[in-house]
Every structure is written in structure tokens, then in C-alpha cells.
Amino acid sequence: MEYTTQMDAAKKGIVTKEMEIVAEKENIDVEILRKKIGEGKIVIPANKKHSSLIPEGIGEGLRTKINVNLGISRDCPDVDKELEKVKNAIDMNVEAIMDLSSFGKTEEFRRRLVEASSSMIGTVPVYDAVGFYDKELKDITSEEFLDVVRKHGEDGVDFVTIHAGMNRRTAEVFKKNNRITNIVSRGGSLLYAWMELNNKENPFYEYFDELLDICKKYDMTISLGDALRPGCIEDGTDGPQIEELIVLGELTKRAWRENVQVMIEGPGHIAINEIEANMLLEKKICHGAPFYVLGPIVTDIAPGYDHITSAIGGAIAASSGADFLCYVTPAEHLRLPDLDDMKEGIIASKIAAHVGDIAKGLSGAKEWDLEMSIARQELDWEKMFSLAIDEDKARRYRKESTPEHEDSCTMCGKMCSMRNMNRIMKGKDINILRNDD
């Protein structure tokens, strides 16, 4: 039996090879996976043309995944430098990479990225439109916006962020609310400006059916972008954000009717006490579709440390139902991240995702921590290193400060609680001051 997309196959009772791979990775029954894909609660972003992809599932009952943003810009146009980041990100086992390139040879970078990457690839086609056509934003036509999406599909992109929820009705709600940071989504601000300059409807909303046809052809997942996500704590969970979310829920059902897979993108800056409510709202209003969040960033005062503010929010979001975390680096709000920034952002997001998986009671999550606890009790340093989420850093720290006694570290020395409890529990003496073993 033929099928067009993973969702189409799932509805027809077909188990695809991608489903088999994901089910094995997640250690779940493939029929349960297939059913949830058919219901839209899980997606497998897998463009038919992305031959190097190792599929991943995102959604209910699966491990929380993370995404890394990369790409060239006018100020930092070095393709090879960005591809070095790509290699490192893949080596660190990230599940997804988004190409946010906005200048220069975007097509060259995108094609090389798709060819090299076993991870899912996402893009924001509206970023590419100005450079692709070499036109000012106002002069790009609706059909040209759609053609850029078509081009990304042809190039093998697995999911595309489309800011279709900010239609003219939503824009009016935005105008009536006095926001501190207005529209902070880059794609959202470009589309809002285009709508205002041309006095027209958002082309991705107006021609949503045509967009679905493109996505269906390549089996590209639509990540419905949050054009009106809050850009500061003060703007969090306001009218424009919720109005857009309602539209995204409507668009989700339209996409599902055409068997196009959907993710919903969520808030950026949210007070910590509002995160759980935001996760619940998305799942209810968008009918259980997988939720993809940026951060959330839980305070606005920490430039240079936003990987930490984001990890705090991401852990709470994941534990409350978010399925996919977009990493944030220490360079957020300051500059394009370098390789070290990227690595710190990845580790912070991985920690947040794992914390969420423990809270969700996901099979295998807590067992990892149990193994580490046993290794610590046994003072098995090699085992601790092998279990560490960042093995290289753990080894480096240990090496940089060598203890006098191998069964301790330089913080506690022979006062180490693990060392002394092990000795006492075995009926041995404790020798903190003596030099004997």
C-alpha cells in the first residue's frame, strides 16, 4: 500500500522503516508509536530526500529531544566555520539542527548541511527569501515565499518553521496590546512588516493549503512558529501570544486532514511560575501536537548566562509536557555563538531534557542516574566519567587537580564521606590524620 507521509502511513496501518528505527531507539511498541503518529501526538520529521538521516521521534512518551541553531549571517558568513559546528553538534548526538542562515550562499550551506547530517534538519524559509530573490522584503510576492519553501523541501529539509498563525486578526490583537518588546521572532517580525507594507494577509496563512501540498510532497513536518512569542518576562502569556496559539490549533487540524505532520513552537521568555500553564495550554489548544520550546528563558537579566536561564526553564517545560527543546547559548542576545558557546548550550539543553525525562517517568531516564550514584558510592572514577553527560569536562577537572589519595578528590581529601562510609560499613578504621592507607 502506498503512502505520502509518515502520518498517512500511520493512519493506513502501515509501519514504515522510520517508525521501526524510532520504536527500537525509544524501546516502545511500534504499534503504539504508529497509533500516536496517526493521532498527531508524535512526529517523525524525515524528508524523503534526506538520505543520510537517522530518524528520531518527537512527542508524547518519547525522550525529550534538543535542537541546535546554526547558520551564516551578514556579519559572520564563513560557511566552513559553521560546518565545523555542525560536525561537533552531530558528534555530541544532538537530534536536530536548524539552519537559520540569513545571508549569502544559504543554498550551498543548506545542501552541505543536509548531505552531512544524520540529525534532523530544520529551516525558517522566510529568512532565506530576501537573499534568494535579491529583493527588498516588500517586493517579494506570496508565490515567491511559497517557492522558497518548495526549494527547501527539494533540498531535503525535514521540518520548516512557518509563522502562519499571525494573520491579520492576530496582528490586530497585537496592535491593541502594549508590549515591551513588540515582536521578537525574526521570522514573525519580517512577516508582520510585509503585511503592513503591502496591506495584505500573511501569505503562509492565506495560502496554507498550497503550503500543505508542498510539505506533503516531501513529507516535511511543519513547525508552526510562534511569531508572537514573548520576548521578555513582562510580555509573557499575554493576549497576542494566546490569540496566535488559538490560530495554530486551527491550522494543526487543517494540516492533519492532509496528513501533514505538525509541531507547535512555544514561548521564549516566561516567568518560571507560568511555564506549566503554558505547556498545558498548548497541549489543550493544539490537540496534543508535539510542543517545541525556545528555553523558556526565565529571567531577562543574565546576558552571557542565558544557557543557564534557558536550562532552568527547559527542565520545567520538559517535565510539564514539552517534547522538544531549542538550545540557548551563553551568546544569546549578544552575538553569533562560537564553537565553545554551542557546546555549552548543547550540554545545558541535554541536562534540561534529561531532568524532564526523569520527571515524566520515562523508561531508562532514572536508571542512568542510579548507575552514576552507584559509581560514586564505589568511588569508581572511570565509570563516573563514562556516565557523565560531558565526559571530557569531567576528566579534565579531575586531571587539573590531582588528589593525594586516589579514592578521594581535592575538595574533601580523606574526609570524603563516600570513602569513610565505605570503610565504616566494612568494619574498618578511618584514618584522616595518619598517613597509613
Q: Count Cβ atoms within 10 A of the Cβ of residue 138 and give its class: 0-12 exposed, 13-18 middle, 19 or more buried.
A: exposed
Give the number of other CB atoms < 10 A from CB of residue 425: 9
In the annotated binding site for substrate, the residues are: 69, 98, 127, 163, 185-187, 226-229, 265, 292
Which regions of the chain carry the CATH code 3.20.20.540?
43-360
On the 0-12 / 13-18 / 19+ scale of CB atoms within 10 A, 120 is: buried
Distance between CA atoms of residues 232 and 174, nearest Å: 15
The candidate with the shortest Cα–Cα distance to 56, out of 12, 90, 14, 100, is: 90
Whole-number pLDDT of residue 408: 79
Report which secondary-structure segment, H or E, holds 332. Answer: none
Separation between Cα atoms, residue 10 and residue 31, nearest integer Å = 9
Query: What letters, b where the CB count within 10 A reaches 16 and e where it falls short, cover 156-193?
Result: bbbbbbbbbbbbeebbebbeeeebeeebbbbbbbbbbe
What is the model's pTM?
A: 0.95
Comparing CA positions, the residue from 6, 23, 54 lying closest to residue 221 is: 6
| pLDDT for position 437 | 64
For 412, the 3-state DSSP assignment is coil
For the chain, the average pLDDT equals 95
Helix (H) or strand (E) run with residue 153 in it: helix 142-154
Q: What is the pLDDT of residue 407?
A: 77
State the pLDDT at residue 42: 98
The beta strands (E) that lie in 42-95 are given as 42-43, 58-59, 65-70
The pLDDT score that the predictor gives to residue 424 is 86
> Which residues of the chain are modeled with pLDDT < 70?
105, 436-437
Q: Residues marked as binding for [4Fe-4S] cluster?
A: 409, 412, 416
pLDDT in tens, 339-355: 999 999 999 999 999 99
Binding site listing for Zn(2+): 269, 333
How far apart, in whole angstroms, are the C-alpha atoms of residue 234 and residue 268?
12
> Which amino acids are annotated as binding site, given as ranges?
69, 98, 127, 163, 185-187, 226-229, 265, 269, 292, 333, 409, 412, 416
Question: What 3-state class would DSSP assign to 74?
Answer: coil
Of 61, 45, 1, 423, nearest in space to 434 by CA = 423
Q: What is the pLDDT of residue 419?
A: 87
CA distance 7 to 35: 9
**pLDDT tens for each residue of 172-227:** 999 999 999 999 999 999 999 999 999 999 999 999 999 999 999 999 999 999 99
pLDDT of residue 213: 98
The model's pLDDT over 400-422, given as tens digits with 9 standing for 90+, comes to: 998 887 877 888 888 888 888 88
Report the residue count for the chain: 437
What integer pLDDT is reported at residue 288 of this predicted model?
98
- Classify the C-alpha dihedral 295-301-307-311 as positive or negative: negative
Which amino acid makes up residue 157?
V
CATH class of 43-360: alpha beta
